[in-house]
Amino acid sequence: MSDDTSGTFDRDTRYITDRIVADAPAGEPAGEKVGDVTWPVEAGRYHLAAARACPWAHRTILVRELMGLQDAISLGLAGPTHDERSWTFDLDPGGQDPVLGIERLQEAYFNRVPDYPLGITVPAMVDIPTTAVVTNDFDQLSKDLATQWGECAKPDAPELYPEDLREEIEKINERVYPDLNNGVYQAGFATSQSAYEDAYDRVFATLDWLEELLADRRYLVGDSITLADIRLYPTLVRFDPVYFGHFKCNRQTISSFPVLSAYLKDLWQTPGFGDTMNIDQIKEHYYVVHTNVNPTQIVPKGPDMSWLDEPSGRDQLS
């Protein structure tokens, strides 16, 4: 939504804030009301409803993949386009999610909260027995997938949110989320020149800062991939094909940043990153769904993203 007085896009961040945690007792979830309920970690009980097109859902797909939770948590992928009733499982045979048996994610939200009044968003963790949404709080969900599912993860699962680095990870996010992850949306959905220019300036100030920060370190925090990198990657990989043109963030492409382009190539070539991506679905989502920005719904053929497969040279920073 936009603030009519300033033309600034304000994201609705009201979510279902239930959590799935390791120390919750098995069986029925404990809590008095939606948003105040803890659910038990239980392999095979939950279904992650996501979409390859959505950057917020992309983060949870990455964590699930890197942690090796594929056998413990099934994955449902909605198609890249949707209407005002939101995401549909039109990629699956018969247009139904094969695990949940529903056509629209909206059904799982209504099973939890009848006539749910807020956004029908991905990612959403769904309780399979009841076909009801557990949580759609994408940031907390990513943290919990990284820290609460150890008993179901692969033996060599990485520490994506180590306790000794959490303060630094969150400090990075305090700038990356508002000024870049959400900043590109504030530029693209602005309805006044001043709001657009403010968001545009913050986007590129942040990219310049990251270019300098990553010059002598392979990853944002520590010596391995953390949630800081997972939060940044979906925005960087969408920048050239979508945000540069569609959202008018056109000072320069990521491919023209020497350090950021190498960093993005390094992540893209890491198992779990590029091999879980679909650039065509990403472009179709933005250019078809956002008719207020692109009323013709024409999807551009470019750009050529083959540069992501070139050597990054970042391994020398390990």
In our burial notation (b when 16+ CB lie closer than 10 A, e otherwise), range 132-171 reads: bbbbbbbbebbbbbbbbbeebbeeeebebbbeebbeebee
Which of the residues are catalytic? 54, 185
Q: Mean pLDDT for each consecutive 10-residue tract of the chain (318 residues)? A: 75 95 92 92 98 98 98 98 90 97 97 95 98 98 98 98 98 98 98 98 98 98 97 98 98 98 98 95 98 97 98 89
Contact present, 38 and 31 (Cβ < 8 Å): yes
Contact present, 218 and 212 (Cβ < 8 Å): no
Q: Per the annotation, where are the binding residues?
A: 87
Structural domains of the chain in order of their starting residue, each with its CATH number = 2-152 (3.40.30.10), 163-317 (1.20.1050.10)
Q: Per the annotation, where are the binding residues for glutathione?
A: 87
Strand order in the sheet with 19-21: 19-21, 37-40, 30-31
- Cα dihedral 8→15→53→2 (10° resolution): -10
pLDDT given for residue 277 in this prediction: 92
* Strand residues in 109-248 grouped as ranges (E): 124-127, 132-135
pLDDT given for residue 85 in this prediction: 81
Q: What is the pTM of this model?
A: 0.96
Measured distance CA(265)–CA(303) in Å, rounded: 16
SS3 50: strand
Measured distance CA(183)–CA(2) in Å, rounded: 13
